[in-house]
Amino acid sequence: MRLVVTGKAGQVATALAERGRAAGIAVIAVGRPEFDLSQAEDAETVLSQAKPDVVVSAAAYTAVDRAETDADAAWAINATAPGHLAAAAARLGVPIVHLSTDYVFEGSKPTPYVETDATGPLGVYGASKLGGEQAVARATDDYAILRTAWVYSPFGNNFLKTMLRLGADRPELRVVDDQVGNPTSALDIADAVIGVARNLMARPDEASLRGIFHMTGSGEGSWADFACEIFARSAELGGPSPRVTRIATADYPTPARRPANSRMSSALLAKVHGIVMPDWKRSTADTVKRLVAGS
């Protein structure tokens, strides 16, 4: 299988490259300078040269707060570009796997979100990602949209790495405790994307494999819970272990509003694709070990 993924330096693209090597899968990452998502009209040329079996649309404008004042760029990358990619994939006769986000929901539901729940993004980032979902669905019938959340990994910039970096210099960290979600390893995302891609290729006419699926780590917690778990595992390895003080969202104002409830149920992914996402605490421990112990 040959996967072509957008976003050369992104967490998911990097994780896919690692998992692909282990599984004997060719993973070709495309991005700047040869492919600029903000001007993705040439997507078909780039994809046809890369000869994908499946296209993975992983790159995104992820600066949630900056998007509030940079809406044009966010919409170009998160909404317009995925539509071009999906249309190009359709013309090439290959499926597309598109990654989306919990931010398409407004976060007031008391239980985990399922795929049929109404969307209602709170800001530009979430609205642009929802626009990307809609653009993909308009451009092709051969797609799987995978909504994920709270992504972390040994690569790039993410909450887990930030906690370890800050924790190395500070005795105490104040972390939001009234936003809850499902921390999700990019390496687990990569495994799931490969599984979904295989299913789409193997059963090209099976409509149930197409559509929207939630794909997050099993289990849930607040950002403060996540931080505590990171430092508990770090302490076991002799790494940073500052005290975590739990605070409210109101104590840490940001330009963009965040969903209070980012939890999503991945039951449909398990039922239809046979993919069960690992427990977030186990995957967190694995990532902390790589970063702290270097293994």
Q: Are strands 221-222 and 143-148 parallel, antiparallel or unpaired?
A: unpaired
pLDDT at 199: 98
Question: Does the annotation mark 125 as catalytic?
Answer: yes
* The domain made up of 2-293 is a member of CATH 3.40.50.720: yes
pLDDT at 290: 96
* Nearest in space to 241 (alpha carbons), one of 254, 252, 253, 227: 227
Residue 166 CA to residue 155 CA, distance in Å, equals 17
pLDDT at 195: 97
Percent of the chain beyond pLDDT 90? 90
Q: Is the pTM of this model over 0.85?
A: yes
pLDDT band at 265 (very low <50, low <70, confident <90, very high): very high
Question: Taking 70 as the threshold, does the pLDDT of residue 179 lie above it?
Answer: yes
- Ranking 95-109, 255-269, 281-295 by mean pLDDT, the lowest is 281-295
Within 10 Å of residue 97's Cβ, how many Cβ atoms? 24
Question: Taking 70 as the threshold, does the pLDDT of residue 295 lie above it?
Answer: no
Catalytic entry in 61, 103, 125, 143: 125
DSSP H/E element including 183: none
